Amino acid sequence: MILEFADVKRDYNETVDVVVIGSGCGAATVAKELAEAGHDVLMLERGGYYSAERGDFDQRSDNMLARIDGGRGLETSPNGQIALMYGNCVGGASVHYWGDSWRIPRDRCEVYEQMGVSGHSYDDLEPYFRRIEEDHSIHLHGPEYYNRMNQIFDVAAAKLGWHVEGVPQARTGCTKSGHCYQGCSYDAKQSQLVTYIPKFTEAGGRIFADCQVEQITTNDQGHADGVSAIFLNRDTGEPSGYKLQVKAKIVVLAAGGFASPVIWLKSGLPNSNGQVGKNLLCNPNPYLYGLFDEPIMLWENVPASTGTSDFRLPKFDAEGKYLEGGYLLHPNQLQPEFLAATIPGSGDRHRDLMAKLTHIGGVVSWIDDELGGQVSLGDDGQLVYDYSIRGVDILKIHDALKKQAELLFAAGVKEIIVPDIAGTVLHSPEDIPLLDAIDISNGNILFGAPHPSSTLQMNDDPSIGVVGSNHEAHEVPGLFVADPSALPRGPSVDPSVTIMAWSYIAANSIKEKLTSGDI
C-alpha cells in the first residue's frame, strides 16, 4: 500500500515494528528484508510516488527535475561549486541514476577495515552482491547499446593505451531512449521503484509518500522509539496541515548522505564526538565537451556502457607527491536542456554552440574525494552544506580534466570546450597544460555531486564513529543507519550496489535485535 498526499485527509498515528526513513537503495533493501521476515514495517518518503504505468515519467527534464530531484535539481553548496544531486521520490536516487552498478572493489573494503569497520569485507558482502545482481538484472550490455560517444571513447582510449571495460548495468528490456536520468518511462532501468519496493509492498509493507520526518523520537532511556512527521502538499511543497506520529521498536535512518545527518541534527540526538554531519564526500564530477565533425547525439542510448578504471586509484611518488589518478573516466551523457545549462557563455557564443549541439560530445570523471566538508544547522536553524574542493582533490580534478582532453583530442576533436565561466577553449594537445591553471573555486565551474556519503560514519570506536559495524547508533539504541552516510569513504565506484549490500547486513542486525527481545 502506498499512501499519497491526495489521499491524506486526517492525522495519522501508527504503531509498527520498524519505521524506515527514506526509500532509496538502502531503505528499500532493509524494508524489503524485514517485511519478508514477517515484521510490520512502515516506510516514509518525503518525495512523491511516480510510476511509468501512470505516465509520470514524461521525459521532459523540467518536469522530471521538479518531480524526482531534491530541491528541483537547483540546490548548490554556498560557494556554488557543487550541485546537490539527490532523489526526492519513492525509490530515491535510484530513480534518476544512470544504472551503473559496480561491486565495491576489494581494496576499498580493506581500506574500510583499516578505518574501523568490521564484518563488511568483500567476502562478507559477496553473497549479497550475487543476490543484488540477480534481483536487478545487472549485466554488461552488448555493442548495440553503445551510443556514438561510447564507441568513440573506446577507440580513443585504445590509441592512448588505456584499458577499457564495460560498465555493469541494472537494466532489462532497455529501449535505448537515453532518458535514464529523468526516470525510466519503460521500467527497464532496475531502480528500487521496480525491484525491492514492489517486493516490500507485496510482503505487506506500507509506504507513506509526501511525508517529511521532522524528528526521531526517543524514550526516557534514550532509545529511539519512533518519529514525528508532517504530510506535504505535493503541488506546493508546503505542509498540508496533517501530521503523522509513529511508535516503533526500531527506527532506520536511510534518507541519504545529504539528508540523514540533517534529520539527526534537527532531532537533537546525542552527538558527543561531534561527528554527525562531518566528513561529507560527494564524488564531484569534472567534465569537458568536444566539437566533433560528425553527429554525436550525446543524449541517446545507454549513458555510460563503457569506461576506464585505469585511474581509479591515485598514484604518488616516493616522497608522497601526487602524480595522477583518483577517479573514474567515462563518456558523458546529457540531455539538450542540461547541455544548454552547462555549456559556457551567453548571447551569440552560447547560441552558436547550441546550433552545433548534435555534434558536441563529452567525457566525465567521478573524483574519489578524500577531504570532506560538513552538513550543519546554522544559528538560524537553516541547513548549510559546507563543501569546498581542496588539497589533493584539486590535483585530482586537474589531472582528470587533462586526461579527458587527451582522450577528446585522440578522438579527433578540433576544439575542446571547458565549462568554466570564461569559456576556455583548447585547440590542440599543446593547449592541455592550460587546464592546470583553470580556476575551480566559487562556482567558476559547477560540478555535480551525485554520491553524498560519510556524514554518519561507521567505526567500532564510539569516540570516532557515529554508528557501529552492526549499523546501530552508538549513542541511540534502536536507531540504525542504512544508507551511504555510514560509509567511511566513498566506494570509488557508483555506490548503489555497495549501499544495498551494506543494508543487507543492517537488516540482519535489526532482525537479530527484534528476535532477541533486546529492545
- For the ranges 80-89, 135-144, 317-326, which has the lowest average pLDDT? 80-89
Cell digits for 459?
Answer: 567505526
Q: pLDDT confidence of 329, banded at 50, 70, 90?
A: very high
Q: Is the pLDDT of residue 72 over 90?
A: no
Q: Is the pLDDT of residue 48 over 90?
A: yes
Beta-sheet pairing, 224-232 with 211-218:
antiparallel
The pLDDT, as a whole number, for residue 519 is: 74
SS (H, E, C) 423-448: CCEECCHHHHHHHHHCCCCCCCCCEE
CA distance 234 to 255: 18
The pLDDT, as a whole number, for residue 88 is: 93
CA distance 28 to 503: 9
Beta strands in 4-98 (DSSP E): 12-21, 41-44, 82-84
pLDDT above 70 as % of the chain: 100
Q: What is the pLDDT of residues 287-304, one digit of tens each?
A: 999 999 999 999 999 988
Q: What is the pLDDT of residues 270-287, one digit of tens each?
A: 999 999 999 999 999 999
- For the ranges 241-245, 341-345, 406-410, which has the lowest average pLDDT? 341-345
Intrachain domains 2-137+179-281+466-516 and 143-171+285-368+390-440 with the same fold: no
CA distance 362 to 235: 36
Cell digits for 519?
Answer: 529492545
The residue ranking higher by pLDDT, 516 or 511, is 511
CA distance 215 to 264: 8
- For the ranges 20-29, 137-146, 510-519, which has the lowest average pLDDT? 510-519
The pLDDT, as a whole number, for residue 292 is: 97
Cell digits for 6?
Answer: 491526495
Positive or negative, the Cα torsion across 297, 298, 301, 304? positive
Helices and strands in the chain: count of H runs, count of E runs:
11, 24
The residue ranking higher by pLDDT, 52 or 314, is 314
The pLDDT, as a whole number, for residue 340 is: 87
Q: What is the pLDDT of residues 472-506, one digit of tens each?
A: 999 999 999 999 999 999 999 999 999 999 999 99
Q: Is the pLDDT of residue 381 over 80?
A: no
DSSP 270: -
CA distance 355 to 3: 45
Q: Where are the alpha helices (DSSP H) in 41-180?
A: 61-68, 106-114, 122-135, 148-159
What residues contact 507, with CB distance under 8 A and at least 6 apart?
29, 30, 33, 34, 482
Q: pLDDT confidence of 65, banded at 50, 70, 90?
A: confident
- Mean pLDDT, range 152-175, rounded to an integer: 96
CA distance 348 to 353: 9
Burial 356-378 (b: 16+ CB within 10 A, else e): ebebbbbbbbbbbbeebbbbbee
Q: pLDDT confidence of 120, banded at 50, 70, 90?
A: very high
Contact 211, 44 (CB under 8 A): yes
Phi/psi for 6 (5° steps) reads -70, -20
The pLDDT, as a whole number, for residue 153 is: 98
Q: Is the pLDDT of residue 380 over 90?
A: no
The Cα-based distances of 492 to 255, 271, 283, 440 in angstroms read 21, 28, 8, 21
The Cα-based distances of 336 to 74, 80, 177, 339, 341 in angstroms read 17, 22, 14, 5, 9
Topology adopted by domain 143-171+285-368+390-440:
Cholesterol Oxidase; domain 2 (3.30.410)
Q: Is the pLDDT of residue 442 over 90?
A: no
CATH superfamily of 2-137+179-281+466-516: FAD/NAD(P)-binding domain (3.50.50.60)
Q: Is the pLDDT of residue 517 over 80?
A: no
pLDDT above 90 as % of the chain: 82
What residues contact 130, with CB distance under 8 A and at least 6 apart?
none
The pLDDT, as a whole number, for residue 69 is: 86
The pLDDT, as a whole number, for residue 485 is: 98
Q: Is the pLDDT of residue 89 over 80?
A: yes
Of 160, 128, 141, give the one whose Cα is nearest residue 100: 141
What are the domain boundaries of the chain? 2-137+179-281+466-516, 143-171+285-368+390-440
Q: pLDDT confidence of 152, banded at 50, 70, 90?
A: very high
Average pLDDT, the chain: 95
Of 401, 327, 325, give the one whose Cα is nearest residue 363: 401
